[in-house]
Copies of this chain bind each other. A is one copy, B any other.
């Protein structure tokens, strides 16, 4: 698999864990070796695995947890670090996210996430679900 597909696959796994409310999958995809951080839409930034995963447990476990999907993802790879810019579809609305990954033992694991509002959308060709290999 080309590295860009591997990064997009890791990114898709993040949104799959979010949509499935699968906290174990969410814990597994965040790096344990590298420092992690997370900026949920409108929140203060969170630093460190404990605070980041506690926030995901709260979001995933909430009764009104959003139905989320990733659209229009683009990966950029710089050696063993990569980031993805993608839209997050929530109902009829979109957010825009930056997701940073590092390669550890051939797996791309998340080290940072920022999501915030956007006036844009992924365009007609990217509104459908991405093809999964």
Q: Which residues of A contact B (CB under 8 A)?
A: 34-35, 37, 39, 41-45, 47, 74, 76, 78-81, 83, 85, 96, 98, 100, 102, 111-112, 114-121
State the Cβ distance, A76 to closest chain B Cβ, in Å. 6
A34 to B39, CA, bound (A): 25
> A85 contacts B116, CB within 8 Å?
no
In the complex, which residues of chain B have a beta carbon less than 8 angstroms from the beta carbon of A96? 39, 44-45, 114
The 10 closest A-B pairs by CB, nearest first: A44-B120, A116-B116, A81-B81, A98-B114, A78-B81, A78-B102, A45-B85, A42-B117, A98-B98, A114-B114
Binding site secondary structure of chain A? strand
Interface-centre pick from A47, A74, A81, A119 (highest chain B CB count, 10 A): A81
Copies of this chain: 2
- With A37-B76, A39-B96, A80-B78 as known contacts, state yes or no: A116 contacts B119, CB within 8 Å: no
| Closest residue of B by beta carbon distance from A38 | B85
With A and B bound together, what is the CA distance between A28 and B96 in angstroms?
A: 26
Q: Are A120 and B45 in contact (CB under 8 A)?
A: yes
